[in-house]
Amino acid sequence: MRDIAAGEERNWVLAVYGLFLIAPASSGVTALIGVVLAHLRLDDARGSFYESHYRNLILVFWVWLAVALSAAAFAFAGLAGLVLSLLQGWPHHGLSIYHNTAMLGAVFLGLVITCFWYYWRLLRGLIRALDDKPY
Give tens-digit pLDDT for 74-121: 888 877 877 777 776 655 655 566 667 777 788 889 889 999 999 999
pLDDT for the residue 107: 84
Domain ranges across the chain: 3-130
Please spell the DSSP secondary structure of 91-122, one letter per residue.
TTHHHHHHHHHHHHHHHHHHHHHHHHHHHHHH
Give tens-digit pLDDT for 8-45: 899 999 999 999 999 989 988 999 999 999 999 999 89
pLDDT for the residue 60: 96
Find out whether 13 and 129 touch, Cβ atoms under 8 Å. yes
Find out whether 75 and 104 touch, Cβ atoms under 8 Å. yes
pLDDT for the residue 102: 77
pLDDT for the residue 90: 58
